[in-house]
Amino acid sequence: MDSNIVLTGSCLCGSVRVTAHPGNNHVDACHCVMCRKWGGGPFFSTGCGDAVNFEGADNITTFSSSEWAERGFCQQCGTHLFYRLKRENHYAIPVGLFDRGTEWKLTDQIFIDQKPSFYSLAEKTSNLTGEEVFAQYSKNDER
């Protein structure tokens, strides 16, 4: 995928449309308990920083799932729209929202220590435990 590409997509009912610039074709899988509870399985997303625009934003409801992050969904159909780091305004957008997506590549898995044993992903990826993820964010805070 061209790193300058702008992708578009929508929720199930079309009340919310998203335009985003992911910057690359990388997909992250989060296996944390909250993401699995939220979506019934791993959260497959692409990081878009703040390069995201929503049409129909009045149809978006957010849930503050932690001190540092919130999750957004369509209040009409319930589609998961984003996971957002509050302080950095960094959006992780579910790759399934985008109208096209055949060029994605799974590159990273986080909270691998919370992944249940009933599934596995065959791709060779970077794998971080929850502790390693939080340590990485702590390093970023020191900069």
7-142 sits in which CATH class? Answer: mainly beta
Which pTM was predicted?
0.90
Q: 42-69 pLDDT, tens per residue?
A: 999 999 999 999 999 999 999 999 998 9
User: How confident is the model at residue 20, as a pLDDT?
Assistant: 96
pLDDT under 50 in the chain at which residues? 142-143
Tell me how far apart the alpha carbons of residues 90 and 52 are, in angstroms, rounded to a whole number: 9
List, in order, residues 6 or more apart from 114 with CB less than 8 Å away: 31, 32, 33, 36, 130
